[in-house]
Structure 1
Amino acid sequence: MKPPYTITAAILNLVASISQKIGKASAHYLDKPSPKLRKENRIKTIQATLGIEGNSLSESQVQAINEGELLIGFERDQKEVQNAMALYERWSEFKPSKNTSFLSAHRFLMQDLVKNPGEYRNKSVGITKGKTLTHIAPPADRVPYLMNDLFQYVADNPDPLLIKSCVFHYELEFIHPFIDGNGRMGRFWQSLILSKSHPIFEFLPFETIIASSQTDYYQALASSDACGQLTPFIEYMLGVLDKSLANLLNTTNVVLSETERIEYFIYIGTKDFSRKDYQRIFKNLSTATASRDLKKGVALELFSTYGEKNATRYRVLV
């Protein structure tokens, strides 16, 4: 599959801007944000991606559900939130170029909301805005072939990853492989594709930008449909990613607490390390502060130690 799009000056400028912002975010330890920021952004992502599809719950209500509360009178909306939480909690299980993984993700997202979650549609569908038919999706018997072709594109095509993720998002909306859940899956899978090379995208709530510009979102899809080129949608989505990264970078001046630094270090997966290794992650941390962090980690039984004095090393116990 060779997607029809043109590399415009706008696309080149946005790719450059996004790449620069990814670098800045990485330099400020935001490849994978602090536990508090990760949690806040996950809530924003879920509320926004569901809100785009008509879910009425606010961020505070999504937060309440996340903390185990039950909301009376919002059964379907609440179920959508619970399913989305179950999906995002399994982030690391999904493979961007695997059809089976994609269907499994839809099963988690739409369990008890549609008749056959995790299965491609077996009937024709059209998309309407009001009383106007705006898009007729390909015939149902073509869906498996088209989706396999799309996953092959993700796996093998040399297109830049930023553009490839936008192509997948658009093509998924065009194919409309499911009876319901296509929009949510498109946004989720674009994040997944990007996160495999840039972990920051796992916790980047770009859906909030789309939610605040839904008319532009649907217009970009319609414009690409009308001209038979993905260029309008790619330009729109790259703009969304650029704005979302800019918003995230505004958090880089937040000072992490001792506990947040320890939690973040454990999260990035280093199992055996020295104090210098710890300071390589937190480059502005003094030796004395790093030593206090590690001492607290040992006291909390999060780290064990071996070796002596300058040769002391640490192992993560959790």
Structure 2
Amino acid sequence: MVCTISNSSGGNVTYQPPYTITPAIVNLVAEISETIGRYTVLAEQKLAPRLRRENRIRTIQASLAIENNTLTLEQVTAVIEGKRVLGHPREIQEVLNAFATYEAMEGWNTGVEEDLLAAHALLMRGLVDETGRYRSGGVGIFRGEQLVHMAPPADRVPKLMADLLEWLENTAEHPLVAGCIFHYEFEFIHPFADGNGRMGRLWQTLILRNWKPLLAYLPVETVIRNRQEDYYRVLAVADSQADATPFVEFMLGALRDAVAEAVSTDQVTDQVTDQVAALIQAIGSGELGSNDLMQALDLSHRPTFRNNYLNPALEGAWIERTQPASPRSPTQRYRLTAQGRRWLQHHADK
């Protein structure tokens, strides 16, 4: 909950969001910081420009998917590359806006209101009437038919946001913690008519990026997307307790897992077998059936193909079936997963 604390003489003292630094938060910050140290070294060595771009695209697709954008990762990639995509014009516009916004991110200051409003104007361009300015009316957050949060009245938003941005500019909290607190408080205020979720995640990424520049390319939104129900549940718990602590713990857990996944992905890039590597390279950016793959790999013995190539690649999540519900379909084909594409990209950049 957002509130202003007044002293006995009637003047306002410095705003302080409601939260507690728990042992769990301390431990998560320590764990994330240690892992980020390894991630930074690996990323400097291996995170080529095209892989950074892929991570950014994953971030954008996941953040928009949380807001019910139905475009797939492949479609989002195509939109950003300027290719023609069959999709709803609004969803395509959301992708173009998000990419432009994330690309412009490094020029903004997290504590400056003008930058926040400029980011919203770019992110929501052509999507809503009120862009780049705070909402003029009331807003509630619904899950289905149920109202789960009624945001503060519109006339309070400018003061609440000024207090929050001033706190962010001056807080001594670790950036990992400050980013989570800001994210929660921002969602509580819900300062815009639309785009609050994606703006909250964007600004937390900017806070992290200002601490460690490589974190601008950490796709934490993909972790949140996979835990979307928990994300909304913890927001509701924090609201009911008028305390950001549960949300801070949840978000730090998501950050820990995102960093760990990034480190793990880079560390395993050289650990696939020669057979799986050959299979990944044979599939490339396409979709191939078993017979085509065996021909591409110059194999004639089907058990060898399945035991040494296909099954290990499926079990390691390097490839996936195009018809997962019908694994034995005669028209079954195989394509790379996101992990498989990252492996292929990494080796192409060597």
TM bracket, shorter-chain basis:
0.7 to 0.9
Report Cα offsets for 1:102-131 as digits up to 9, x if no partner. Answer: 000000000000002111001111111111
| Structure 2 residue 53 is matched with structure 1 residue 56 | no
| Structure 2 residue 95 is matched with structure 1 residue 102 | no
CA-CA distance at 1:133 after TM superposition? 1.0
CA-CA distance at 1:219 after TM superposition? 0.7
Equivalences for 1:80-229 in 2 at 5 Å?
80-229=94-243
Distance 1:33 1:186 in 2: 26
Distance 2:164 2:201 in 1: 15
Aligned identity (percent) is 48
CA contact (8 A) 1:32 1:200 kept: no
Amino acid in structure 1 at the alignment position of 2:172: P
Aligned with 2:219: secondary structure?
A: coil
Where structure 1 has 5 or more consecutive residues not aligned to the other structure, the ranges are 256-318
- TM-score norm. by structure 1 comes to 0.78
CA-CA distance at 1:205 after TM superposition? 0.3
In structure 2, what is the equivalent of residue 295 of structure 1? none
Aligned with 1:152: secondary structure?
A: helix
Distance 1:6 1:145 in 2: 24
| Structure 2 residue 78 is matched with structure 1 residue 68 | no
Structure 1 runs (4+) greater than 6 angstroms displaced: none
Q: Relative to structure 1, is the Cα distance of residues 148 and 32 closer, same or farther in structure 2, using a 3 angstrom cutoff?
A: farther
Report Cα offsets for 1:44-100 as digits up to 9, x if no partner. Answer: 000000000000000000011111112234211101001101111112211111100
Which one has the largest radius of gyration?
A: 2
- TM-score norm. by structure 2 comes to 0.71
Give the aligned CA root-mean-square deviation in angstroms: 1.4
Distance 1:29 1:48 in 2: 21
CA-CA distance at 1:2 after TM superposition? 1.2
Amino acid in structure 1 at the alignment position of 2:29: V
Amino acid in structure 2 at the alignment position of 1:180: D
Distance 2:46 2:218 in 1: 10
Distance 1:145 1:192 in 2: 22
Q: Relative to structure 1, is the Cα distance of residues 115 and 21 closer, same or farther in structure 2, using a 3 angstrom cutoff?
A: same
CA contact (8 A) 2:157 2:191 kept: yes
Report Cα offsets for 1:19-47 as digits up to 9, x if no partner. Answer: 10111112224499321210110110000
Report Cα offsets for 1:252-288 as digits up to 9, x if no partner. Answer: 3347xxxxxxxxxxxxxxxxxxxxxxxxxxxxxxxxx
In structure 2, what is the equivalent of residue 243 of structure 1? 257
Where structure 2 has 5 or more consecutive residues not aligned to the other structure, the ranges are 1-14, 271-350
Report Cα offsets for 1:229-271 as digits up to 9, x if no partner. Answer: 111000000000000000110233347xxxxxxxxxxxxxxxx
In structure 2, what is the equivalent of residue 45 of structure 1? 59
Equivalences for 1:276-295 in 2 at 5 Å?
none
Amino acid in structure 2 at the alignment position of 1:239: G
Amino acid in structure 2 at the alignment position of 1:238: L
Distance 1:131 1:252 in 2: 43
Amino acid in structure 1 at the alignment position of 2:159: Y
Between 1 and 2, higher relative CO (CA 8 Å, sep ≥ 6) is seen in 1
Q: Relative to structure 1, is the Cα distance of residues 16 and 31 closer, same or farther in structure 2, using a 3 angstrom cutoff?
A: farther
| Structure 2 residue 41 is matched with structure 1 residue 27 | yes
Amino acid in structure 1 at the alignment position of 2:156: R
Q: Relative to structure 1, is the Cα distance of residues 59 and 73 closer, same or farther in structure 2, using a 3 angstrom cutoff?
A: closer
CA contact (8 A) 1:224 1:230 kept: yes
CA contact (8 A) 2:46 2:266 kept: no
* Aligned length in residues: 255
CA contact (8 A) 1:32 1:199 kept: no
Q: Relative to structure 1, is the Cα distance of residues 155 and 31 closer, same or farther in structure 2, using a 3 angstrom cutoff?
A: farther
